[in-house]
Amino acid sequence: MKEDGRKYRCKICGQVIKPAPDGSCPLCGAPKSMLSQIRDADDDDNDLKK
Protein backbone atom coordinates (compact mmCIF):
# COMPACT_ATOMS: atom_id res chain seq x y z
CA MET A 1 0.00 0.00 0.00
CA LYS A 2 1.35 3.40 -0.98
CA GLU A 3 1.90 5.87 1.86
CA ASP A 4 -0.07 9.13 1.76
CA GLY A 5 2.57 11.59 0.56
CA ARG A 6 0.76 14.79 1.44
CA LYS A 7 2.93 17.13 3.44
CA TYR A 8 2.19 20.47 4.99
CA ARG A 9 4.14 23.52 6.13
CA CYS A 10 3.20 24.75 9.59
CA LYS A 11 2.58 28.51 9.62
CA ILE A 12 3.63 28.65 13.28
CA CYS A 13 6.92 26.73 13.44
CA GLY A 14 7.68 26.73 9.69
CA GLN A 15 8.52 23.03 9.51
CA VAL A 16 7.42 20.66 6.74
CA ILE A 17 5.43 17.94 8.48
CA LYS A 18 2.93 15.14 8.12
CA PRO A 19 0.01 16.11 10.38
CA ALA A 20 -0.73 14.25 13.60
CA PRO A 21 -3.83 12.00 13.57
CA ASP A 22 -5.97 14.92 14.80
CA GLY A 23 -4.66 17.14 11.95
CA SER A 24 -2.45 19.32 14.11
CA CYS A 25 1.29 19.98 13.78
CA PRO A 26 3.11 17.16 15.60
CA LEU A 27 6.00 19.48 16.47
CA CYS A 28 4.37 22.58 17.93
CA GLY A 29 0.71 21.56 18.28
CA ALA A 30 -0.67 24.21 15.92
CA PRO A 31 -4.23 23.43 14.75
CA LYS A 32 -4.82 22.13 11.23
CA SER A 33 -6.07 25.59 10.19
CA MET A 34 -2.45 26.74 10.52
CA LEU A 35 -1.10 24.15 8.06
CA SER A 36 -0.61 24.79 4.33
CA GLN A 37 -0.42 21.82 1.99
CA ILE A 38 2.71 21.84 -0.15
CA ARG A 39 3.21 20.29 -3.54
CA ASP A 40 5.63 17.41 -4.06
CA ALA A 41 7.83 19.70 -6.16
CA ASP A 42 8.45 21.77 -3.02
CA ASP A 43 9.53 18.75 -1.01
CA ASP A 44 13.29 18.67 -0.38
CA ASP A 45 13.70 14.94 -1.03
CA ASN A 46 11.46 14.77 -4.11
CA ASP A 47 14.40 14.59 -6.55
CA LEU A 48 15.57 11.35 -4.90
CA LYS A 49 12.37 9.60 -6.06
CA LYS A 50 12.88 10.32 -9.78
pLDDT at 34: 98
- Asked if pLDDT for residue 50 goes beyond 50, the answer is no
11 vs 31: CA distance, rounded Å:
10
- Asked if pLDDT for residue 2 goes beyond 90, the answer is no
pTM flag (> 0.75): no
Q: How far is CA 41 from CA 3, 18, 31, in A?
A: 17, 16, 24
CATH fold label, 1-39? Rubrerythrin, domain 2 (2.20.28)
Q: Where do the structural domains in the chain lie, given as residue ranges? A: 1-39
pLDDT tens, residue by residue, 15-41: 999 999 999 999 999 999 999 999 865
Phi and psi of 39, rounded to 5°?
Answer: -80, 155
